[in-house]
Amino acid sequence: MSYLILIRHGQSTWNLENRFTGWVDVDLTENGKLEAKKAGDLIKKSNIQIDYYYSSLQLRANHTLKIIQKSLNDEKKFVRSWKLNERHYGGLTGLNKAEMSKKLGEEKVHQFRRSWDLRPDPLDRNSKFHPLNIDTYKSMSINEIPDTESLKDTYERVINFYNTDIKNKIDNRNILISAHGNSIRALCKYLFKLDEKQISKLEIPTGNPLLIEIDENENINNCNYLDQDRSKDLLIF
């Protein structure tokens, strides 16, 4: 039996400001740090020993993972990959979601946020919010850095990384992935075989570990959020 734990980072500064964050590298709020600490305590209480840790290149996910590891008294190095990054919101990056709903209409903004293959307009490469201009991504090839992404684009890079770097390590071992709302939604679509309509409805709470139990035949036996007070409808079990 193996366990896969998926956790969206704790509340970030731009979550609090209700802004489209995407690849902008913001940190956790004090509340986000508390969410991460509680997540670590809940994982510790479950008595599950983590064999491998993974995260994106982004500070909020890395910081969440480090707080969790501190709770677990575990200093293992973790693997960081841009393929686990949040979805790139293109020209919407940095904008306030509520203000954009007033400007474009709630339905249009909802389409940008939740449609499967609709990309927002590309972000100007001269923008300070473009990954080309953020130190976090200086080690990446220019060809790997997008100007905008759909959820489908995000899904393809996340699942490529999962299949090549993570899946083969699950056999009787436990893995924790600290990532983002859309990269975790992509993983859930793949793992639970959700269709495009189902994935559009899936909400991922910040700082709440999703514990997935996987048997030796790679079947999912059970899954649940460890913080039941802040659990979301998984649309599955």
In tens, the pLDDT along 21-60 reads 999 999 999 999 999 999 999 999 999 999 999 999 999 9
Distance CA 32, CA 125 (A): 30
**Domain membership flag for residue 103:** no
Distance CA 17, CA 31 (A): 13
Q: Give the pLDDT confidence score for residue 180 in this predicted structure.
A: 98
Cβ atoms of 178 and 7 within 8 Å: the answer is yes
Listed residue (235, 20, 56) closest to 149, CA to CA: 20
225: CATH: 3.40.50.1240
Strands laid side by side in the 220-225 sheet: 79-80, 52-55, 175-179, 2-8, 210-214, 220-225
All residue ranges of the chain with pLDDT < 70 are: 110, 114, 231-237
Q: Give the pLDDT confidence score for residue 203 in this predicted structure.
A: 87
**Domain membership flag for residue 66:** yes
**Can you give the pTM of this predicted structure?**
0.94
Query: 103 Cβ partners below 8 Å, 6+ apart?
Result: none
Q: Percentage of the chain surpassing pLDDT 70?
A: 95
**Domain membership flag for residue 67:** yes
**CB atoms near residue 223 (< 10 Å):** 19
**Domain membership flag for residue 143:** no
For 153-156, the CB contacts below 8 A with 24+ separation are 153/87, 153/88, 153/119, 154/86, 154/87, 154/88, 154/182, 154/183, 154/186, 155/186, 155/189, 155/190
Q: Give the pLDDT confidence score for residue 216 in this predicted structure.
A: 86
Q: What single letter denotes the amino acid at residue 125?
A: R
Range of the domain at 179: 2-88+149-230
**Domain membership flag for residue 133:** no
Count the domains in the chain. 1
Which residues carry out catalysis?
9, 86
Token couple for 192: 């639970």
Report pLDDT digits (tens) over 155-164: 999 999 999 9
**Domain membership flag for residue 118:** no
Q: Give the pLDDT confidence score for residue 235 in this predicted structure.
A: 52
Residue 12 three-state SS: strand
Q: What share of the chain is helix, strand, coil (3-state, %, to 5)?
A: 45, 15, 40
**Domain membership flag for residue 9:** yes
Token couple for 71: 């709770």
**Domain membership flag for residue 195:** yes
Q: Give the pLDDT confidence score for residue 62 in this predicted structure.
A: 98
Cβ atoms of 129 and 24 within 8 Å: the answer is yes
